[in-house]
Amino acid sequence: MPKLSRYFETRRDASGAHTLIVNLDGSPLLRLAMTNKGTAFTAEERRALHLDGLLPPHISTMGQQLARVYAGFLREPSPLAKYQYLRAIQERNEVLFYALLEGHLAEMLPIVYTPTVGDAVRQFSNLYQSARGLSFSPHNIDHAHEVAGNCLFDDVRMIVATDSSAILGIGDQGYGGVAISIGKLALYTTGGGVSPFRSLPVGLDVGTDRADLIDEPNYLGVRQKRLRGEAYLDFMDRFVEAIHQRYPKAIVQWEDLSKDAAFTVHERYRTRLPSFNDDIQGTGAVTLAGVLGACKLRGEALREQRIVVYGAGAGGAGVAWEMVRGLMRDGLTQAEAMQRVFVLDSKGLLMSARAMEDYKRPFAKTDDDVAGWDGSPADLLDVLRCTKATVLLGLSGQPGTFTEPIIKQMAANTDRPVIFALSNPTSSCEALPSDVLRWTQGRALVATGSPFDTVAIAGKTYEVGQGNNAFIFPGLGFGAILAEASEITDAMVTSAAYALAAYTEEKHLAAGRIYPPVEELRIVSARVAAHVIAQAIDDGVARSAKVSALRGDLPALIAHVEHKQWKAKYLPFALGRGVALSTHPPDESNG
């Protein structure tokens, strides 16, 4: 019997049908989002679970409930109001929330994730309504094991943890960044198929360096400067030890850590517990997938490209490394691959003679590398001209930095320049897709990190590809869960990128798309997860005998993933001291 929590668990009968066994009834049952079906409780369930009279008389199907809550969503006047509305449903009826999100994913993804979630983070303390997940802080980290033990769930498999130091493009947000963890896990469930009853958002409140937050009367976080250095690492050590002991099979995704902490934390813990950093690895993988698709459209190989990465934070460095791995997979040596990737930070091209963070140094060029250049390595336009770059990837968080001369230089370098302005949210995008396409007469292959509308130029319509990490992290995480991976290897991340690229080529490349539509996220995630599992087996880090038995059989792995994906549907209920109730909610629209 798969145990979920101290209050409820599932039981499967001989036919494979599941029943939810609950250890509470009456009003408490309705107050717990994981067990509340609202008006969908059947007449028999209402009597047996002591709910009779506590609900309206009408017994609703899930379809009727969905119509009602979707109409309410449409009535909300602004994206932030819609976000609050969806979060309220999530805290009231977990299954209904995910069924609603599944049915309207393209419409609601920008609400529960970027860009709207950025506004929700900024206003988190003022919008706060209910607790979710776990919070670790200097106030409780000395008894972190006790804190972990307070969690309702007993078998968590996916954790998203943030210290809120580098949220999207808006920086230090103090405790408010926990909203990012909540939003990411919503996509793990809707897009990847991870059960919401096996996932956990975590806020690592190590303080904030923003005086305005510390002085804000409504601020809900710790009112102190951020922990740094050994104090920060000691905090993280305690968290990792406690969470790994409580949930030894859990995958941890590190989210929105500052660039220095991101690399330190990733390297410090990646072999202590299976973990990855989406800002580094997810961004790198989704970008590589898009560049691979663009190369296919141009009829060129990746190894022929000259790639400029503008922005050397966690995302930029992650993209640069993934480009190198892709070039090596395409036949180059690492040294040859590094010579084709040029990375710029706020001071210009990374040059070995100047001071920089350690994580940037592998990409630093020498004076010999730029000998004979007619221009300054500090200037993006000169770098593009001197390298004859064919691919320009923006991860700077600096809006409007891809100016008309920049774009026109790319168009002079190659007939179909690849230009991805990937910084989130939309307000941080390096260039508007409409400008890029107009300045290149529609020749550029364009992608962004956040959603943009199609662009019409001279009577022709252009789709704007969305290089959204959601195409990678749900499948990467779910694949690691099913493989029971002891570590998430670099090769598993690269395999996720190639899985996404292969799916796009199969389904959408002929129509000129370099990323699939977000409506296909669950299908994409199953493909990604299967490739991740296959790579975990090859890398010797898969501990699951079940998936290891499927080695070499990718269709069987895809089928296994699809079978394991959680789906938003109501189960019949029974009291823990009773027997399963035989009546299901009326008609088949509830599944």
User: How high is the mean pLDDT in each 10-residue block of the chain (591 residues)?
Assistant: 66 82 92 95 95 97 98 98 98 98 96 91 94 96 97 94 88 94 97 96 97 96 97 98 97 94 96 96 98 97 98 96 98 97 97 94 96 91 97 95 98 98 88 97 94 91 93 98 98 98 97 94 98 98 96 97 96 72 33 27
Question: Regarding beta strands 445-448 and 465-466, do their DSSP bridges make them parallel or antiparallel, or are they unpaired?
Answer: parallel
User: Can you give the pLDDT at residue 591?
Assistant: 27
CA atoms of 430 and 262, how far apart (whole Å): 23
Burial letters for 45-56: b for 16+ Cβ neighbours within 10 Å, e otherwise?
A: bbebbebeeebe
User: Can you give the pLDDT at residue 329?
Assistant: 97
End-to-end CA distance of the chain: 22
Pair 85, 70: CB distance under 8 Å: no
70 is catalytic: no
Calculate helix-pair angle for 521-538, 490-507, nearest 10 degrees. 140
CB atoms within 10 A of CB 210: 16
CA dihedral 246→250→253→257, nearest 10 degrees, is 20
- 237's enclosing H/E stretch is helix 229-246
Which residue in 37, 98, 175, 184 is the catalytic one?
184
- pTM for this structure? 0.94
Smallest CA-to-CA distance from 183 within 101, 259, 72 is with 101
User: Can you give the pLDDT at residue 38?
Assistant: 97
Tokens representing 307? 């790639």
Residue with tokens 């290149």: 440
User: Can you give the pLDDT at residue 516?
Assistant: 96
Pair 252, 289: CB distance under 8 Å: no
Give me the phi and psi of 301, to 5 degrees please.
-90, 155
Beta bridge partners of 542: 485
User: Can you give the pLDDT at residue 576?
Assistant: 82
The dotted CATH code for 1-104+570-591 is: 1.20.1370.30
Residue with tokens 């001197």: 386
CA atoms of 487 and 541, how far apart (whole Å): 6
| DSSP notation for 404-433 | HHHHHHHHHH-SS-EEEE--SSGGG-SS-H
CA atoms of 551 and 574, how far apart (whole Å): 39
CA atoms of 6 and 13, how far apart (whole Å): 21
Pair 288, 326: CB distance under 8 Å: yes
SS (H, E, C) 441-499: CCCCEEEECCCCCCEEECCEEECCEECCHHHCHHHHHHHHHHHCECCCCHHHHHHHHHH
CA torsion through residues 399, 404, 407, 410, sign: negative
User: Can you give the pLDDT at residue 451?
Assistant: 86
Tokens representing 568? 């938003």
CA atoms of 201 and 157, how far apart (whole Å): 11
113 is catalytic: yes
Give me the phi and psi of 78, to 5 degrees please.
-150, 160
Burial letters for 275-298: b for 16+ Cβ neighbours within 10 Å, e otherwise?
A: bbbbbbbbbbbbbbbbbbbbbbbb
Calculate helix-pair angle for 521-538, 554-564, nearest 10 degrees. 120
In this structure, whether the domain defined by 113-273 belongs to CATH 3.40.50.2000 is answered with no
Length of the chain: 591
User: Can you give the pLDDT at residue 588?
Assistant: 29
Which residue in 37, 82, 83, 113 is the catalytic one?
113
Domain ranges of the chain: 1-104+570-591, 113-273, 279-552
CA atoms of 466 and 115, how far apart (whole Å): 13
| DSSP notation for 498-560 | HHHHHHHHHHTGGGT-SS--GGGHHHHHHHHHHHHHHHHHHTT-B--HHHHTTTT-HHHHHHH
Cβ-Cβ contacts under 8 Å for 506 (sequence gap 6 or more): none
Name the superfamily (CATH) of residues 279-552: NAD(P)-binding Rossmann-like Domain (3.40.50.720)
Amino acid letter, 397: G
- Helix residue ranges, H only, 247-379: 259-269, 283-298, 314-329, 334-338
Is the bond into 115 cis (omega within 30 degrees of 0)?
yes
Burial letters for 400-425: b for 16+ Cβ neighbours within 10 Å, e otherwise?
A: ebbeeebbebbbebbebbbbbbbbbb
- 3-state DSSP assignment of residue 140: coil
Tokens representing 321? 């490394």
